[in-house]
Amino acid sequence: MSNSFGFGQKATGQVERKPSGESDFSPKGYFDIQLVRKGKVIESFRAPNGVTNVGKNSILGVGFNAIAQITAWYLGIIDNSGFSALAAADTMASHAGWNEFVSYAEATRVAWPEDAASGQQITNSTSADFNINGSGTLNGIFLVSDNVKSGTAGTLWATASFASTIPVLASDVLKITYTITAT
């Protein structure tokens, strides 16, 4: 038995590479959420976020156009009541598809206690906790540069809708870890 090509047969191949120095910079992130009731985790889930247009413009402006760096970020909760959609064009002053859920004990939005960036990502190793003080149904979460509950100021970095709505009761605790990646 011999291995040979007959007349009229040929083999071809092609290798494609990214040009040297090219990379994909596409910031994205996800929220890891735990719902704690009476001291027990009753639900854990991950919600990938979309980065808003104003959030992308902010990161480009800080990095390349000398706009002031935002040094503090805060988490907010999206209410399911009146929810219709999230949009890349959402800002804190204009987000027609959703409302903020504010039935939690903290006087302001909860600070995102981020750690130092490493491995092209940044996260918080200590959870940001919301102590729920009223019942409701949650649809998602957002990250913004202003801490005022129901406030319309600040840069809205990202929003995420949960895969399914989350009913909460007074005395529940929502524990949030947020990770941004640029890989």
Query: Which residue ranges make up each domain of the chain?
Result: 28-181
Q: Which DSSP string corresponds to 70-113?
A: P---EEEEEESTT-----TT--SS--TT-EEE--BSSSSPEE--
Q: Whose CA is closest to 156, among 36, 82, 70?
A: 70
Q: Quick one: pLDDT at residue 181? A: 94
Q: Which amino acid is at 123?
A: T
Q: What is the pLDDT of residue 9?
A: 59
The pLDDT value given to residue 3: 57
β-sheet bridge partners, residue 148 = none
∠ CA 84-155-127 to the nearest 5 degrees? 80
- Counting residues of the chain whose pLDDT is more than 90, the rounded percentage is 84
Q: Which residues contact 49 (CB under 8 A, 6 or more apart)?
A: 28, 29, 30, 31, 141, 143, 158, 159, 160
**What does the DSSP 8-state code read for residue 59?**
H
Above 80 in pLDDT, residue 154? Answer: yes
Full-model pTM: 0.87
Q: What pLDDT score does 15 carry?
A: 64
What is the band of 128 on the pLDDT scale with cuts at 50, 70, 90? very high
pLDDT tens digits, one per residue of 57-109: 999 999 999 999 999 999 999 999 999 999 999 999 999 999 999 999 999 99
Instruction: Tell me the average pLDDT across 111-136.
Output: 97
Q: What percent of the chain has pLDDT over 70?
A: 87
- Assess whether pLDDT exceeds 90 at residue 138: yes
- Does the structure show a pLDDT above 70 at 147? yes
Q: For position 25, what pLDDT does the model report? A: 74
Q: According to the model, what pLDDT value does residue 20 have?
A: 61
Give residue 178's pLDDT: 98
Decide if 70 contacts 63 (C-beta within 8 A): no
Query: Has residue 51 got a pLDDT over 90?
Result: yes
